[in-house]
Amino acid sequence: MSRQIPYQPLLLRILHSINGFLVIGALVTGFLVYDSYDGRFGGLGLTKENRTLIDIHGTFGFFLFFVILPLFLAYCLIKGKKRLIQLNQIKDLTKQINQPKWWYNVHRFVNTLALVSVSLAAISGKFQSEDWLPNKELNHLAYYVHLLAWLLLLISVLIHGLMVAKVGGIPLIISMYNIKYKPEDSPHLWWGNLKVWLENLRR
Ligand code: HEM
Ligand code: HEM
């Protein structure tokens, strides 16, 4: 039986796609920076020490930290809360294992873990200095936290992909990259909606 393609709000699709692009860019360039300057925990030796790599990585990190992550986080915490794990659902993770509801809860948990990991990576990124690795300073606490965040993020994004495939299959994946939208979801209406939302909040 074929499953229907669900509808995803346009703003979510836009923020999620740009966030995904920047996160994958930061993961790959971050790895290359590590691989060329460090490599103590294993590596591939693909690149040589190169400052441009650090600059490219810093650019991905910059846009993530200052532009997209704050917007994506705000969206997920305010409008997309239902897709993140709620405190009262955490205890359900040990009950009725393997039921569809359980899988959806695990999916929510992994969504949340991906958000926590990307925040940890971006915040610890702000504590890095572009001169540490070229100066062979490899033992800063903030650098270890940044490396750990990379690992956590890689694992959570990989499991996120698996969970999306498990709970919704190909139709759910397509839904996130679909370019059609409903008239009531048009960007022309966003400014008005935001004003109404802020007005309600003030009341
Ligand atoms: C092995 C993995 C990684 C290594 C070795 C690494 C290394 C570095 C270095 C050397 C800097 C300083 C560059 C500069 O200030 O211009 C930096 C900055 C940064 N990194 Fe990473 N990074 C890694 C992974 C990540 C990941 C996965 C993210 C986010 C998803 C990230 C986000 C950032 C951010 C936000 C900055 C600050 C950029 C700025 O505004 O100047 N990093 N990283
Ligand atoms: C690039 C491959 C990716 C694919 C195919 C993908 C796919 C999806 C899909 C289909 C959903 C909707 C799930 C649903 O309706 O239940 C979703 C939601 C979500 N994704 Fe991804 N994703 C990817 C990358 C990422 C990355 C890199 C992050 C963050 C680090 C991320 C964080 C999230 C979060 C937090 C949600 C929930 C949004 C909300 O609260 O409304 N995704 N993803």
Tell me, what's the pLDDT at 2? 56
- Domain ranges, ordered by start, for the chain: 10-179
Ligand 2 neighbours by CB, cut-off 6 Å: 12, 16, 19-20, 23, 76, 80, 83-84, 111, 114-115, 118, 157, 160-161, 164, 172-173, 176
CB count within 10 Å of CB 60 equals: 20
pTM, two decimal places = 0.94
Assign residue 114 a region: left if phi > 0, alpha if psi is -120 to 50, beta otherwise?
alpha
The tokens of 52 are what? Answer: 């441009």
Ligand 1 atom closest to Cα of residue 37: 5
Tell me, what's the pLDDT at 16? 98
Residue 142 · residue 124 · CB < 8 Å: yes
Q: What is the mean pLDDT of the segment spanning 92-115?
A: 94
Residue 158 · residue 136 · CB < 8 Å: no
The ligand that comes nearest to the alpha carbon of residue 150 is 1
- Residues 24-34 pLDDT 10s: 999 999 999 99
Q: What residue owns the CA closest to ligand 1's atom 7?
A: 30
Tell me, what's the pLDDT at 4? 86
**Residue 126 near ligand 1, beta carbon < 6 Å:** yes
- Residues 148-181 pLDDT 10s: 999 999 999 999 999 999 999 999 999 999 999 9
